[in-house]
Amino acid sequence: MALLEVDNLQTHFRTPGGINRAVDGVSFHVNEGETLAIVGESGCGKSVTSMSLMRLIPEPPGRIAGAIRFAGRDLLQLSDREMRAIRGNDISMIFQEPMTSLNPVLTVGRQIRETLMIHQGLDKQAAEAHAVEMLTLVGIPEPKRRVREYPHQLSGGMRQRVMIAIALACNPKLLIADEPTTALDVTIQAQILKLMLDLKRRVGAAIILITHDLGVVAEIAERVMVMYAGRKVEEAPVAELFRSPRHPYTQGLLGAVPRLGSSLTGTARRLAEIPGQVPDLRKPITGCVFAGRCALATDLCRQYAPGLEEKGPRHVAACHYAAKGAVAA
């Protein structure tokens, strides 16, 4: 059974310019012990999706509709109190912007400790010891000194690792990691990814990984969901997605990453761009959301929105032409 089932999630924001349909009817699931990566253009709704799962969307201006079933319970029906008990405990999250989610006036040790005291009922001493242990696990040198420091005294990567330590402290069943390794160098990144995989092995945790790093996706994800303009446009097992991306947006995405070794192979000096911009989500969109930027767009695309269709085993994409092989790269 799926640990998490998201059904037609819609998270909209009221803004002066109209309703921003940041997430507009997204459905997906994550199995126990599975790693699902969510990728997609900036602003496509990845963070809003994950904040919705945690029910951390400010309401108003936000409004969440649909169903989010976690271990059988619909999170959207829970009281705030019930939700608080889940957050940080059963489901925890590594936020995209560590500096805004750590409290600047509390030592990092205190911040980890409090999570442990609230959710695991540890006493102060046990929590302190566990906090030091967590900092050691995420590779922070001299954890005993660091627990007494404030966020601004740490380097960017260390702050991010503190966030990770807090998120992992309670052995969550579902870990949502929003860009967990962007501020980290590759050696620490490898260490953090290993920690996340250990958590998975140890407690069978599921992971939702949001990242722009396709190298990280290739390394640890089992399935990938591609979002565009608040919708799911493609989903497939990781190897399948990299081998035969069906949606033109996914193809563009895979083409835009430089590969290590480019200076030797003399690959093009310019990176491939996907021209144009994401559509304004406050205006109604008829037809395919990607039509404005798609080289293959036809009148059909501009008039009728393609639905998600099966393009291969466990592989779906929302494109009128993907099935016909017309878009094969």
Partner 1 sequence: MSPPLLQVNDLKKHFPVKSGLFGRKSEFVYAVDGVSFEIARGETLSLVGESGCGKSTVGRAILRLFDITAGQVILDGQRIDDAHPGTMRQMRRRVQVVFQDPFSSLNPRMRVRDILAEPIRNFGLAKSAEDLEVRVTSLMDTVRLPREALNRRPHEFSGGQRQRIGIARALAAEPELIVCDEAVSALDVSVKAQIVNLLQDLQSEFGLALLFISHDLAIVEHMTHRVAVMYLGKIVEIAPRREIFAAPRHPYTRALLSAVPLPEPGAQRNPIILKGDVPSPINPPKGCRFHTRCPLVFDRCRVEEPVLRATGTEQWVACHLEDGAVATSG
Q: Would you tell me which residues interact with ligand SF4 (CB under 6 A)?
A: 247-248, 288, 290-291, 294, 296-297, 301, 306, 319-321
* Whole-number Å distance between alpha carbons of 119 and 49: 24
Of Mg ion, partner 1, ligand SF4, none, which one sits near residue 294, judging by CB under 5 to 8 A according to partner kind?
ligand SF4
**Which phi-psi region, left, alpha or beta, contains residue 234 (left: φ > 0; alpha: ψ -120 to 50)?**
beta
264 binds partner 1 (CB under 8 A): yes
Question: For ligand ATP, how many residues bind (rule: CB under 6 A)?
Answer: 23
3-class SS of residue 262:
helix
Q: Between residues 18 and 312, which has the closer beta carbon with respect to ligand ATP?
A: 18
Return the number of the residue (20 or 111) whose C-beta is nearest ligand ATP: 20
The first and second tokens of residue 321, run together, are: 């032409």
For partner 1, the binding residues in 281-300 under the rule CB under 8 A are: none
Binding of Mg ion by 211 (CB under 5 A): no
262 binds, among ligand SF4, ligand ATP, partner 1, none (CB under 5 to 8 A by kind): partner 1
SS3 44: coil
156 binds Mg ion, rule: CB under 5 A = yes
Sign of CA dihedral 245, 250, 255, 257: negative
Member of 15, 77, 262, 286 binding ligand ATP (CB under 6 A)? 15
Supply the DSSP symbol for 261. T
Q: Could you tell me the smallest distance in angstroms from the CB atom of residue 40 to ligand SF4?
A: 14
Q: Which stretch binds partner 1 (CB under 8 A): 62-70, 112-120, 270-278, 310-318?
A: 270-278
Does the footprint of ligand ATP cover residue 157 (CB under 6 A)?
Answer: yes
61/255 with CB nearer ligand ATP: 61
Considering the complex, state which of residue 155 and residue 303 has its C-beta at the smaller distance from partner 1: 155
* Residues paired with 224 in a beta bridge: 37, 236
Give CA–CA dist 272/274, Å, rounded: 7
| Selected binder of Mg ion within 11, 20, 35, 47 (CB under 5 A) | 47
Residue type, 18: G
* The amino acid at 67: A
Binders in 77-106 for Mg ion, by CB under 5 A: 96
Other residues' Cβ atoms within 10 Å of the Cβ of residue 175: 24
Residues 211-230 that bind ligand ATP (CB under 6 A): none
Q: Which does 153 bind (CB under 5 to 8 A by kind): ligand SF4, Mg ion, ligand ATP, none?
A: ligand ATP
Report the alpha-carbon distance of residue 168 to residue 170 in Å, rounded. 6
Containing 219, the helix (H) or strand (E) segment is helix 214-220
CB of 228 to ligand SF4, least distance (A): 9
Please tell me the distance from the alpha carbon of residue 68 to that of residue 29, in angstroms, as a whole number. Answer: 9
Q: Which residue type, as a one-letter code, is found at position 139?
A: G
Q: CB 166 → ligand ATP: shortest distance, Å?
A: 17
Question: What SS3 class is residue 13?
Answer: strand
